[in-house]
Amino acid sequence: MTRALGWLTALALIAGLGAAFGYAPREAVQGNVQRIMYLHVPAVLTAYLAFALVFVGSLGYLFTRRMGWDRLAVAAAEPGVLFTGLTIVSGSIWGKPTWGTWWTWDARLTSTAVLFLVYVGYLLLRGMVDEPDRRARYAAVVGILGAANIPIVHFSVKWWRALHQPSTILGPEPSPIAAPIALTLLVNWIAFTLLFFYFLTRRAEIARLEDSHAG
């Protein structure tokens, strides 16, 4: 099953890459630099999904004390941090030619950086506590509190004056983007989601082995 998911993920990533460079039109204002959106936007949406699963796993553990929920949380948190880091890096690369700077303390950028640091802290906390139940409880609290930052990240461009452009998808208004760009984003979002679930599956297997070895 995991191998099949891996192959499906690879095919989806190739399709997304082909759509980004071979199907999506050149953006009229930004030119080819806009194509990094097909990496940037799916990365942040996948990070949202990852941290939502951390939230679910953390709640599940606190209510049931079953380690399976904790394994779900940590398996989702690690790729979530990876995708958030990818969001920040790709956004900086996109920002340099469009804003003239690699970084600015814009509300969206700052809240995303906070989200990244919270879940890096989540992983560091897990590495500092040896006793499984105590580690899972402490991590669950951080995982739940950290998820509160997700709506702040997403709606920050609405709530505060920001240099960052408004959300083009998952926003309160209809998306203004052209159909070929929207389809290319969708293909890449699906590819990144498959990649996330591949990472999640593999990391959950590792977590099960770690727990059985510790027991």
Q: What pLDDT shows up at residue 167?
A: 64
Q: What is the pLDDT of residues 60-113, one digit of tens each?
A: 999 999 998 999 999 999 999 999 999 999 999 988 888 888 888 888 888 999
CB 29 within 8 A of CB 97: no
> At 9, which CATH number?
1.20.120
Q: What pLDDT shows up at residue 206?
A: 84
d(C-alpha 35, C-alpha 181), whole Å: 9
Count of structural domains, the chain: 1
pLDDT band at 172 (very low <50, low <70, confident <90, very high): low
> Which domain, by its residues, includes 191?
2-214
Q: What is the pLDDT of residues 6-42, one digit of tens each?
A: 999 999 999 999 999 999 888 877 888 889 999 999 9
